[in-house]
Structure 1
Amino acid sequence: MMGRIKTSSSRVLLPLLVLLVLLPAAASSPVQAAGQEAWGFVDVRDGAHMFWWLYYADSPSASYQQLPLVMWLQGGPGGSGSGFGNFEEIGPLDRDQLPRKTSWVQTASVLFVDNPVGTGFSYVDKPDAYARDVATVASDMLVLLRSFFTQRKEFQNLPFYIFSESYGGKMAAAIAMELTKAVAHGSVKCNFAGVALGDSWIAPVDSVMTWGPYLYSTSLLDDFGLAEVTGAAEAVKQAVEQGQFQKATELWSVAESVIEQNTNGVNFYNILTKEPDEEVSSLAVDDFLSLLARRHVRPLHRQSLVQLMNGPIRDKLGLIPPNVTWGGQAEEVFSSMAGDFMRPVVDVVDQLLAAGVNVTVYNGQLDLIVDTMGQELWVNRLGWAGLPTYKNMRWTPLEDPASPGSTGAFYKTYKNFSFYWILKAGHMIPSDQGTMALQMLKMVTQQA
């Protein structure tokens, strides 16, 4: 079924659809990005409306028809790609509306989707319309992608990649699998070229079980702290093994609290930096789910970003319903997914590899919440036929483009699987190491 699509350009011919964003900005509007843009909503289910925002590639050496299309999926769940991913990580402008030198738009068209429904500017009309598992998330995204590629046929033959971060990676794996099937059946017309899983929540228990050893090895836990964190992690593992996934999510919250108490409040997203002092938008904290939302959704909704998105950006977009606030349903999104949160999707990655899909894993050296040790554990358990050869390969160093002569990353690739270890980066790799992330993007999309 085709989702009903509403866009900022629904009354004009396609070549003219972005003229409105090329006009001089009013005094109260943000600085305009240099390239073409488009945005809109797709009704993916009854009462469920998903927002997307497209930046056409803006390269001095190639037209957008010569460059790939990349869809970016944020984590949380409840984090907004149109907000955080766009203005804090890879979009053409930063949060202060200044040009970003490491924007991915210079080498690809970038599609931000506020996913699942209720995230960012996406919204639901009724509580039972929130997604509760990745299967629903994938189904919703297929409706959006079918609408997008039908409406914008100029992108159907361009290489299309899904890049993701954090919980977005778990959703990306499921979406990639469903998209592969849809392309094969002819129900979605696109040139799906691969999926990239960044610091992704693919095997939650592997992350939790390696928190203690990782923190201990970096002198952030003593022997007593290691014992306490290990005990808390074992409780999470036991709940997962018993199929008690809601309980596992609760115990995951407990394990995080044990870490905070033993490390003097380590930053889960970059162990060498302090949590920003900026206040975040108000979300009630009255139970463990609200506590988790405070830890893992609130950092994506800092007050200055909230003000930007609900002020100048909202005015620019011109189609956000009056009753919809950017990020206003974020906590509900997180809570609705709590029963599915700790479920692994390693089997989905195996299915992707078996189907011949190009899969990339990339991880930040300084990330705790999805530490590299945990990522390597699930990768080494894959049933993929190429794994024995991959494991026997040595990695290759990559020079940091921002610091010639310095190593910025290592990578290893075999057939349709690649792994990038990004140095000096935490959970949000493009924010911490923008030039290295851009170089990785070019390599994954076969531009370098």
Structure 2
Amino acid sequence: MLPFILLLCVGQWSLLLSAAFNVSHLPGFLHEGGSLPFHLETGYVEVDEFLGVELFYYFIQSERNPREDPILLWLTGGPGCSAFSGLALEIGPIKIRSEEYNGSLPNLVYNPYSWTKISNIIFLDSPVGTGFSFSNHPHGYETGDKSWSKHATIFLRKWFVDHQQFLANPLYIAGDSYAGKVVPVIVYEILNENELKVQPTLNIQGYMVGNPSTGEVIDFNARVPFAFGMGLISEELYQGIGEKCKGEDYESPKKAVCASLTQIFNEFESELMTSEILEPKCSLAAPNPKNTVVGTGRSTLQESNKHFLGPQFLKSSAEHTLIISCIYGLFLQTYAYYLMYIWANNAEVQDALNVKKGKVKEWLRCSDHLKYREDISSNLKYHVNVTTRGYRALVYSGDHDMLVPMMGTKQWIKSLKFFVTERWRSWHVSGQVAGYTESYSNNLTFATVKGAGHTAPEYKGEQCLAMLGRWISRMPL
């Protein structure tokens, strides 16, 4: 009798958790009247009952073999960037079609390099206040590294209660930019709870992070050697900063002589599209250098449903010219952000996604007003803890990213003191060099993606899909 009662309780819990909604059509999707050639589910999972925190997700089944292929929990950076950004700009099966806005709903097209070709993916709007996730109490929006990690772990266990057919699938936690800071923390939380027999047991296998933040000073200090290596600053400035700024955080130097040199560096940096230095500089996608949000200025976004971005929202006439040239040049990496805002705030779209009405006044690709605490100073101990327990890690970097440059990532990996198991070599896609890779003890692989920016799949979709496929199949890159 007891097993039946327990089963009944689990069944009731599952019913309470179930807020899933199957989406068969998306407005603007250019395929047979908007019908989707893949399985999309959206929903909410409550991760804090007291404050009423509910995280919104998009779940897309693998287009190959959903019952056996891995499941990825994908987190987008910021902190504060919607998971839909990762879905529609990076690794999901849809892309915003970049065409001049004419007042109608922007169009979506199929992405042939979607990671859902070979894996199931949960795109999670997190932390709370991101995308369509919300709290029923103002205090619920007070979040940080620790609460984000905890909420993501709670989310997964509740989600798997409602999706027990996927419990045996290999599970990986993945994300880029600032999300890379919390990814290994989430894996650490899952492993500890598994050891404590918290149910359901999750089949965690490892994690992957792209151009990731760690909380270490090197994340940002590496911009100076990156800029010198790319020929963006003089040898004199590079050497001067190296000599006068030893031990300093280049973002907030204390020594006056160091501050004067870093100010010169910042002026050079301000002329560039730092998320991908070969791209044109567009204020429409100007990043916040302090928290590595690669997003649009809020005042611009609030007015982006207009045909024209008026000069009243711009700092100068020169900036106005820059934005207009970017918009009408239809540069893919920036104009798509503008169109995405219009699409996601459309009432028909939100109805199709089954978004709860009245909970989020305005969808933002990246929010810059979260009450967020960086309460984990460094995640390096989590990288060490997880990998030395036998779990796998892939760390990859777009090699033209100046926000979190690859040489900083290489430096913190070196600080882990793992020994090299496979020395630096090229890896290839379609007969061409796609990047370079090096493998280390404790199951850690580092890879660069040649020509890619801060969010590598956004720039090099074919190469990143190949990288994922080889890595999750435990094949050499």
- Per the TM superposition, whether the score is higher than 0.5 is yes
1:219 is displaced (CA, Å) by: 1.1
Structure 2 Cα separation of the partners of residues 363 and 294 of structure 1: 15
Compared CA separation, residues 270 and 151, structure 1 to 2 (3 A): same
Counterpart contact for 1:228–1:258, Cα < 8 Å = no
Partner of 1:38: 41
1:388 to 419, 424, 433: 419
Q: Does 1:357 align with 2:357?
A: no
Counterpart contact for 1:202–1:345, Cα < 8 Å = yes
Partner of 2:231: 219
Q: Which structure: larger Rg?
A: 2
Partner of 1:321: 357
Compared CA separation, residues 400 and 162, structure 1 to 2 (3 A): same
Counterpart contact for 1:47–1:124, Cα < 8 Å = yes
Structure 2 Cα separation of the partners of residues 331 and 130 of structure 1: 13
Hey, which bits of structure 1, 4+ residues long, moved more than 6 A? 23-27, 237-240, 253-257
Give 5+ residue unaligned stretches, structure 2.
1-9, 98-107, 302-336
Provide the TM-score with structure 1 as the length reference. Answer: 0.80
Identity of aligned residues (%): 21
What amino acid is aligned across from residue 434 of structure 2 in structure 1?
G
Partner of 1:64: 66
What amino acid is aligned across from residue 72 of structure 1 in structure 2?
W
Structure 2 Cα separation of the partners of residues 193 and 199 of structure 1: 21
2:464 to 434, 437, 443: 437
What amino acid is aligned across from residue 388 of structure 1 in structure 2?
F
Compared CA separation, residues 69 and 154, structure 1 to 2 (3 A): same
Partner of 1:330: 367
What pairs up with 1:42-441 in 2 under 5 angstroms? 42-45=45-48, 46-59=51-64, 63-81=65-83, 83-96=84-97, 97-187=108-198, 188-223=200-235, 225-226=237-238, 235-236=248-249, 259-263=265-269, 265-276=271-282, 278=284, 292=290, 296-298=294-296, 302-311=337-346, 312-324=348-360, 325-327=362-364, 330-333=367-370, 335-337=371-373, 339-340=374-375, 343-383=377-417, 387-390=418-421, 393-401=422-430, 404=431, 406-413=432-439, 414-441=441-468
- Give the root-mean-square deviation of aligned CA atoms: 3.4
Secondary structure of the structure 2 residue equivalent to 1:98:
strand
Counterpart contact for 2:345–2:363, Cα < 8 Å = yes
What amino acid is aligned across from residue 195 of structure 2 in structure 1?
A
Structure 2 Cα separation of the partners of residues 186 and 149 of structure 1: 15
Secondary structure of the structure 2 residue equivalent to 1:430:
helix
Structure 1 Cα separation of the partners of residues 268 and 29 of structure 2: 50
Matched length: 404
Partner of 1:286: none
Structure 2 Cα separation of the partners of residues 290 and 408 of structure 1: 29
Compared CA separation, residues 128 and 52, structure 1 to 2 (3 A): same
Structure 1 Cα separation of the partners of residues 182 and 245 of structure 2: 26
Compared CA separation, residues 229 and 181, structure 1 to 2 (3 A): same
Compared CA separation, residues 175 and 125, structure 1 to 2 (3 A): same
Provide the TM-score with structure 2 as the length reference. Answer: 0.76
Structure 2 Cα separation of the partners of residues 290 and 207 of structure 1: 15
Compared CA separation, residues 159 and 33, structure 1 to 2 (3 A): same
